[in-house]
A and B are shown apart, each in its own frame.
Chain A
Amino acid sequence: MTARLNQMLYVLVAVLVALLFTSLVLVLAGASPVAAYWYILKGSLGSWTKITDVMVAWVPLLLATAGLLVTFAAGLWNIGIEGQIVLGGIFTTWVLRLLQDSTMTPALIIILAIAAGAIGGALWSALAGLLKVYGGVNEIFGGLGLDFVAVALTLWLIFGPWKRPGIGSMSGTEPFPEKLWLPTLGHTRLSLWALLIGLVSAAVVYFLLSGTYFGLKLKAVGKNPRAAHLLGIPTTRYMMSAFLLSGLFAGLAGAVQVTAVYHRLIPAISSGYGWLGLMVSMLINFQPLWAAPVTFFFALLNIGSIQLPIMLKLDSSLSGVLQGALVLSFLLVGGARQRHLARRQVEEASHE
């Protein structure tokens, strides 16, 4: 069997296992799997509007994933990504609020706001980085704690200093005037500018990790920091750079959410794209080339499952179950495959 065929078979088996598991869950919930999958497809690819909706979700997910690939290259689990998206949203909102009544041209205000978002994400990420690099606090726990703090910060802002005239509510801050929205394509919700930011970021990360000294050194730090140090690489500086870059992309995701999607700050501004980005990164085994297509597929599942509560009275968290099952199945089937290959190698050697 050729290697390519083997690889395709592996992907096929993994996908089938994940679908089988999700179908079982659906049956358990008393629903028809076929109907559920059909509505997910229809709800995501059924019309041009739906497809552009998928792309609206695709952009922040792609940005988060691009950022995560940088930290993963350095061997870091940037669980704080959710909080970094949130801070991106907060910083963007802050600049928009500051400048919305100024005489500056709207385009400039939007650019400044998006840049501020990137900085906000990077700063929040740097915090997790400092805790990890100088405080020995595992980035999983440092980042996670900062995620919760970021959400609390959003709530405090929405119900406190930035509350709507009258009374603050879970629906978020007062929407910005339309001139401060990123322009969208026709009657859709999709902003081509946002799409551009997403695709360029993914390309930058791919280039950075595959062709530059920076990427290679980052990998060395990730795989063996002690050896990297002895090879003359300033490991702490590289780890901090990874955190900063990752936070920068996450912050961009938050900025896009505010300027292109919600046009205000809402409590769930990150929409869980950080967590989802972590899942995608694991699914693609941290290879940047696959980031764009797989994030598109995950965005499709997210958008498609919005139909489920309406059509089948099912919770839309089914998409999370299916996504989780996919990642898990790839990990497990991948492990089983490697085990099988290793065994065969031993057998071949002893039968020479």
Chain B
Amino acid sequence: MSSHDIIIGLAGVLFAAAPVVFATVGETLTERAGIINLSVNGTILLAAMASFAVAVSMHSIWLGFAMGVLVGAAVALLVAFSSISLKQSQVAVGFVLTLMTRDLAYFLGNPYMGLQGPRVQSLPIPGLSKIPVIGVLFFNQDPLTYLSFILIGVAWWWVFHTRPGLTLQAIGERPEAAYARGAPVNKLRYIYAAVGGALVGLAGPTYSLSVKAGWKGTISGLDGIGWIALALTIFGGWDPVRGAIGAYFFALLQWLGLVLQPYLPNVPSQVLQVAPFPLMILTLLLVNIGNAEWVDRTLAGLPPDARRTIRKILRWMQVVPPASLGVPFEEE
């Protein structure tokens, strides 16, 4: 493979990662507010199908995207409603929804299987796209990829450098304290559920109208990506930038799978496709093992130097969830 091929390939990785970035950043915002939206996997499928169907029948890419965003926000609001207003388990409702939206996508998407549909065109930025290497990587993409770059920055700035972002951290960490300081906790949780859900929904059309254009039912190859996005949210330690880095790593891995396929003729392609999942487990193990009680116990038995060094490494890898993640808050 020439260096040119590699750069084109890497540009493709950035392109293919865009929907994963949308979903991961969206879920990060929702979870920062204290709500787990476990419906991501099914939501992406339903949004992909619905937006493709709308784009095909209305002949409008814009309406297609609007549909995807709407689906994502609606499903997330249902999770928020059942947990905030009806006090049901977020995990239960999210899980049912992830299965049901998937079946809905397959059921309603049946007539649209394999149809030809519109797709988003690439949009090289004049001038900048001519810069060697960087131009190909960052400025010769489609609008969605640009949007994914911008989103990472904006989300990071919003969470860590704005006043509403600080409130967002507060309601996920200690809602009763945020409430006492005047934050309308549950209203904000609804809003962040909807915004995060909309971003998750955006991942749908980004697939069906761009990255993997079309709708192919159960063989669309989208099943499982939502779970990856959920795991990346944890891996990222609820930081949009770290989460996005995870998304790029995931896309890179998938690309490597494709590149290596010809060299491994005995391995069915489906096997290489699941490679990210054991890796997901491994990364979750690395970021969580520092929280385990037996580790603490074992460390206490070690000589001081080893103990301190290992502790430092563990703490560096470790992620700590927002303290009130998944815990409903009752306003009086």
B107 touches A29 (CB 8 A): yes
Chain A residues near B109 (CB, 8 Å)? Answer: 315
B96 touches A328 (CB 8 A): yes
Interface of B is mostly: helix
Chain A residues near B273 (CB, 8 Å)? Answer: 152
Number of contact residues on B: which range applies?
Answer: 35 or more
A29 touches B267 (CB 8 A): no
A282 touches B274 (CB 8 A): no
A142 touches B103 (CB 8 A): no
Candidates A29, A155, A282, A339; contact of B85 at CB < 8 Å = A339
Residues 209-257 (chain B) with a chain A CB within 8 angstroms: 217, 224, 227, 230-231, 234
B277 touches A331 (CB 8 A): no
Interface of A is mostly: helix
Contacts known (A29-B108, A145-B281); A136 close to B288, Cβ less than 8 A:
yes
Contacts known (A275-B99, A320-B102, A321-B100); A314 close to B110, Cβ less than 8 A:
yes
Chain B 281-321 near chain A by CB (<8 Å), digits 1 or 0:
10011001111101000000000000000000000000000
CA distance in complex: A279, B42 (Å): 15
Give the distance to chain B from A127, nearest Cβ to Cβ, in Å.
9
A332 touches B82 (CB 8 A): yes
CA distance in complex: A335, B96 (Å): 15
Residues 177-224 (chain B) with a chain A CB within 8 angstroms: 217, 224
CA distance in complex: A325, B273 (Å): 31
The yes or no answer to A278 lying at the interface (CB within 8 A) is yes
Give the distance to chain B from A328, nearest Cβ to Cβ, in Å.
5
Contacts known (A152-B270, A318-B107); A328 close to B100, Cβ less than 8 A:
yes
CA distance in complex: A82, B110 (Å): 25
B100 touches A335 (CB 8 A): no
Chain A residues near B231 (CB, 8 Å)? Answer: 141, 145
The yes or no answer to B10 lying at the interface (CB within 8 A) is no
Number of contact residues on A: which range applies?
Answer: 35 or more
Candidates B108, B217, B274; contact of A149 at CB < 8 Å = B274
Chain A residues near B99 (CB, 8 Å)? Answer: 275, 278-279, 320, 324
The yes or no answer to A25 lying at the interface (CB within 8 A) is yes
Residue in chain B with minimal CB distance to A335: B86
Q: A136-B291, A146-B281, A315-B106 are in contact. List 16 more A-B contacts (CB 8 A).
A: A77-B95, A136-B285, A140-B38, A141-B280, A149-B274, A317-B103, A321-B104, A323-B100, A324-B97, A327-B96, A327-B100, A328-B96, A331-B92, A332-B88, A335-B82, A339-B87
**A-binding residues in B (CB < 8 A):** 38, 82, 85-88, 91-93, 95-97, 99-100, 102-104, 106-111, 217, 224, 227, 230-231, 234, 266-268, 270-271, 273-274, 277-278, 280-281, 284-285, 288-292, 294
The 26 sampled A-B contact pairs (Cβ below 8 Å) are: A29-B107, A29-B108, A29-B110, A29-B111, A131-B285, A135-B284, A136-B288, A136-B290, A137-B288, A140-B91, A141-B227, A141-B231, A152-B274, A156-B268, A156-B271, A160-B266, A315-B109, A320-B100, A320-B102, A320-B103, A324-B99, A327-B100, A328-B96, A332-B93, A335-B88, A336-B86
